[in-house]
Amino acid sequence: MPQNSAPAGAPAFLRVHRPSTVDLIATELRNAVYSGGLPVGSPLREVEISRQLGVSRSPLREAAQRLVQEGLLTAIPGQGLRVATISEDRLPDLFEARIAIEAHAARILIRNNDAGALTKVTAAFDHLVEAVKGTDARTIGDADLDFHFALVEAAGNGRLTRYMSTLVVETRLASFSSKDGYVVRREITPSHRAIMAALKSGDADAAVAAIAEHLTEATARMTGELAEQGIKVETVAEVPEPGAVYELGPIDQNP
């Protein structure tokens, strides 16, 4: 069942100094979209959400517009705001953007030669290795996205981290938008291991190539191209919990 906040270290949650009420609301909304608490295509119910968060509708609307700009919410004439749906035809663009961000982050990480930063990426990878031993789709999906987010964050570039934060939530939205439901790959792929091997050896070109291969393959799986080619992969799907209710907030406006 969705929880009231994203898991520790979730990509949707970015730390900000002295966050404003709008910052806090935007974070709650991103986390709700990321977790599925605000389902794909569902309307943003201002009255109900403002009550849950304990805020007025004015800052809620301002925060919501941020998510519109990020592509996480869409404005539909006469219907207000809804959680965005990311269809299969938009997946190539999404994953090409991820390749650009993650590949450049890998180059920076290797150039910086920061052992502490690499240790954090390794820890995220090890967590993913453990996660795929289980059968919980959300746990596996979170661990995979956490690994990719950790790679970008380890580069130490705040803008890349911010861009990746949005791309990660869009990736989750794409998974939620699938006609097959929320389905994740249940294995550590050779390209996963190639990314880590290249980062550890300091081979930037190999890291970039492995990232491109990994995300191109992910696109092919999610669009059904792998299945059309007769390539089978082990996956696990999330089973919705009937009657699950998600409650946001309330947010702490005096952190």
**Could you report the per-residue pLDDT of 60-74, keeping only the tens digit for each?**
999 999 999 999 999
The distance from CA 205 to its chain's CA centroid, rounded to whole angstroms, is 25
H or E element that contains 76 = strand 73-76
pLDDT of residue 239: 79
pLDDT of residue 255: 54
Q: Following DSSP, what letter does each residue of 142-207 receive, concatenated?
A: HHHHHHHHHHHHTTT-HHHHHHHHHHHHHHHHHHHH-TT-SEEE-S--HHHHHHHHHHHHT-HHHH
Q: C-alpha angle 205/207/208, rounded to 5°?
A: 65
Q: Is the pLDDT of residue 7 over 50?
A: no
pLDDT of residue 4: 41
Average pLDDT in the 215-241 region?
Answer: 91
Tokens 């996956």 appear where?
Answer: 235
Helix, strand or coil for residue 97?
helix
Q: Is the pLDDT of residue 44 over 80?
A: yes
Helix, strand or coil for residue 51?
helix
Span of 7-16, 187-196, 197-206 with lowest mean pLDDT: 7-16
CA dist 96 and 117 (Å) reads 25
CA dist 63 and 24 (Å) reads 8
pLDDT of residue 1: 39
Q: Is the pLDDT of residue 173 over 80?
A: yes
Q: Following DSSP, what letter does each residue of 189-248 receive, concatenated?
A: -HHHHHHHHHHHHT-HHHHHHHHHHHHHHHHHHHHTHHHHTT----EEE----TT-----
% residues pLDDT > 90 (the chain)? 82
Q: What is the pTM of this model?
A: 0.88
The chain-wide mean pLDDT, for the chain, equals 90
pLDDT of residue 244: 67
pLDDT of residue 11: 54
